[in-house]
């Protein structure tokens, strides 16, 4: 059994002063049971907790550590930036440089505005879409997570003309009434929503590859169909690439799938592990943002020089070393093949979804293409599997409904250990 005496004591202390003992809900391990581990440090492919346990990391800070932890290039950039002060509240050269670099790398982005989180980016993007179109309603997809903004915490209504309802106390019915929901990979429902709300929809927002119901890729033609529908009806298409941006390809999922949105939200990798977000898109849309245009959005720490330096370092490296994407996809392929082989040997009919360096093992025999199918997974069995893997030194996301992320620091030894641990864990569940 895993030794976690210090982590347990820290969690007990934390619950006295922090709601639920954590600063983001999934960290509490409620979905898998037990107490969370408190991490002390990380290096390369590994995390080390306060009890001295070492784990191969498949969360990678929920995506941004694409080169692994403690990367020297990023650390040097941060160290150099800190010497000049932590923040100015004024423009810096590094903001210009990273903006130029992102517009070079991401197909849809002519101009970009830096913010401080993915949530702030998505909230701002839909405000811009509403400001540009003069329309109020948005369409989002069940299971796609866009942060904790009020417009996104909405449960489904009962039909195309039935508005959503608040999914969290504190979200008003008025806000919920402007959010329409469709199942992911279901273009027919989107068509029905557009028809039933003709001339009222400002934007459609989605993760082009969902990462918050587990890894769920778009079905062939789904993204292309949304692009065509938006063009036909004057709707702004927003890709939330906070997870997928600079991870699935140099230019994100939009490069990988060849579908260009009107607006893109970014985060995670563009800060190299520092808190950051951004939204960008076509010049004619972004010119609506203050002070150029009338749509107001501001942030005291936006474009923080330390975060911009970290982001510029990692993006410059990825821009110059496209082979990283081949490497991490090859690594992920090997892991997925190993897990698939284990499932076959053990006669277990579970499902694996993978896109590039993102993947999920679903405890379900069904092909997972939307949130309703994901919810049919055996979450109790996943919780048991999670603990068994943790005991063997493999740190997975503590939820069936979260994607896993592979870094370039994971090598053959880590691949082999992961596959062996997977086999032993699955065998224990039979």
Looking at the fold, whether 348 and 376 belong to one and the same domain comes out as yes
Does the structure show a pLDDT above 80 at 98? yes
pTM over 0.85: yes
Q: Note the pLDDT of residue 314.
A: 98
pLDDT in tens, 263-316: 999 999 999 999 999 999 999 999 999 999 999 999 999 999 999 999 999 999
In this prediction, residue 174 carries a pLDDT of 83
Residue listed under structure tokens 């983001």: 24
- Which backbone phi and psi does 96 adopt, to 5 degrees? -65, -45
For residue 225, what are the CA distances in angstroms to 130, 137, 170, 188? Answer: 22, 20, 34, 10
Does residue 331 or residue 161 have the better pLDDT? 331
β-bridge pairing 201-206 and 236-240? parallel
Closest Cα to residue 137, out of 168, 171, 112, 161? 161
Q: Which of 268, 294, 320 is the last residue of a domain?
A: 320
Convert the pLDDT of each residue in 217-263 to its tens digit. Answer: 999 999 999 999 999 999 999 999 999 999 999 999 999 999 999 99
Q: What is the pLDDT of residue 166?
A: 74
User: Which residues form the catalytic set?
Assistant: 145, 240, 268
Q: Which domain holds residue 17?
A: 5-70+322-429
* 265, 412: one domain: no
- Residues 389, 347 share a domain: yes
- What local confidence, expressed as pLDDT, does residue 171 receive? 85
Report CA torsion sign: 198, 149, 218, 314: positive
How many whole angstroms separate alpha carbon 381 and alpha carbon 59?
A: 20
Q: What is the pLDDT of residue 158?
A: 40
Residues 374-392 have pLDDT tens digits of 999 999 999 999 999 999 9
pLDDT of residue 217: 98
Output the pLDDT for position 176. Answer: 83
pLDDT at 196 over 80: yes
Total domains in the chain come to: 2
pLDDT (0 to 100) of residue 159: 43
Query: Please, which pLDDT band fits residue 164 given cuts at 50, 70 and 90?
Result: low
Tens digits of per-residue pLDDT, 319-349? 999 999 999 999 999 999 999 999 999 999 9
In angstroms, the first-to-last Cα distance of the chain is: 19
Give the residue from 259, 294, 320 where a domain finishes: 320
pLDDT the model gives residue 162:
44
Number of continuous H segments (helices) and E segments (strands) in the chain: 14, 16
- CA-to-CA distance for 235 and 104, rounded, in angstroms? 25
Q: Are 346 and 297 part of one and the same domain?
A: no
The C-alpha atoms of residue 246 and residue 12 are separated, in whole angstroms, by 38
Short-list 195, 349, 357, CA closest to 268 = 357
Whether 158 and 260 map to the same domain: the answer is yes
196 plus 277 within the same structural domain: yes
| 51/26 Cα distance (integer angstroms) | 21
pLDDT at 161 over 50: no
How much of the chain, in percent, has pLDDT values that exceed 90?
92
Where does a domain end: 320, 348, 372? 320
- Angle (CA) 60 400 166, round 5°: 100
Percent of the chain with pLDDT over 70: 97
Ramachandran angles phi, psi of 57, nearest 5°: -95, 120
Q: Cβ distance 100 to 174 under 8 Å? A: no
How many other C-beta atoms lie within 10 A of the C-beta of residue 73? 14
Both 258 and 116 in a single domain? Answer: yes
Residues 306 and 326 in one domain: no
pLDDT band with cut points at 50, 70 and 90 for residue 157: very low
The more confidently predicted of residues 169 and 195 is 195
DSSP β-bridge partners for residue 182: 141
Same domain, 315 and 206: yes
pLDDT at 154: 80
Each residue's pLDDT tens digit, 384-421: 999 999 999 999 999 999 999 999 999 999 999 999 99
Helix (H) or strand (E) holding 39: strand 39-43
């Amino acid at each position: 059994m895993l030794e976690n005496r210090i982590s347990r004591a820290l969690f007990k202390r934390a619950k006295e002063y922090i709601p639920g003992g954590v600063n983001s809900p999934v960290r509490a391990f409620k979905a898998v049971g037990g107490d969370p581990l408190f991490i002390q440090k990380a290096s390369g492919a590994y995390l080390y907790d306060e009890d001295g346990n070492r784990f191969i990391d498949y969360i990678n800070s929920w995506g941004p550590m694409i080169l692994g932890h403690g990367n020297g290039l990023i650390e040097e950039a941060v160290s150099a930036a800190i010497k000049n002060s932590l923040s100015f509240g004024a423009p810096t050269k590094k903001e210009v440089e990273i903006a130029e670099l992102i517009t070079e790398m991401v197909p849809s982005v002519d101009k970009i505005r830096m913010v401080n989180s993915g949530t702030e980016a998505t909230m701002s993007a839909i405000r811009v879409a509403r400001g540009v179109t003069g329309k109020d309603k948005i369409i989002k997809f069940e299971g796609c997570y866009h942060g904790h903004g009020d417009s996104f915490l909405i449960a489904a209504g009962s039909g195309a003309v039935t508005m959503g309802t608040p999914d969290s106390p504190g979200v008003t019915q008025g806000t919920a009434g402007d959010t329409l929901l469709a199942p992911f990979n279901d273009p027919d429902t989107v068509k029905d929503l557009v028809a039933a709300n003709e001339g009222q929809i400002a934007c459609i927002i989605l993760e082009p590859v969902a990462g918050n119901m587990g890894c769920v890729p778009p079905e062939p033609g789904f993204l292309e169909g949304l692009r065509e529908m938006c063009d036909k009806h004057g709707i702004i298409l927003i890709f939330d690439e906070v997870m997928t941006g600079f991870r699935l390809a140099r230019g994100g999922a939009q490069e990988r799938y060849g579908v260009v949105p009107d607006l893109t939200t970014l985060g995670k990798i563009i800060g190299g592990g520092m808190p950051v977000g951004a939204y960008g898109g076509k010049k004619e849309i972004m010119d609506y943002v203050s002070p150029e245009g009338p749509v107001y959005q501001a942030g005291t720490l936006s474009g923080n020089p330390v975060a911009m330096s970290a982001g510029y370092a990692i993006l410059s490296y990825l821009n110059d070393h496209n082979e990283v994407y081949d490497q991490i996809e090859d690594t992920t392929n090997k892991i997925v093949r190993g897990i698939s082989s284990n499932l076959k040997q053990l006669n277990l009919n579970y499902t694996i979804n993978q896109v590039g360096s993102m993947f999920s093992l679903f405890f379900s025999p069904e092909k997972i293409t939307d949130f309703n199918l994901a919810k049919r997974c055996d979450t109790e069995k996943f919780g048991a599997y999670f603990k068994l893997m943790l005991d063997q030194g493999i740190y997975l996301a503590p939820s069936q409904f979260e994607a896993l992320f592979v870094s370039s620091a994971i090598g053959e030894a880590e691949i082999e250990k992961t596959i062996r641990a997977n086999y032993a864990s699955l065998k224990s569940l039979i």
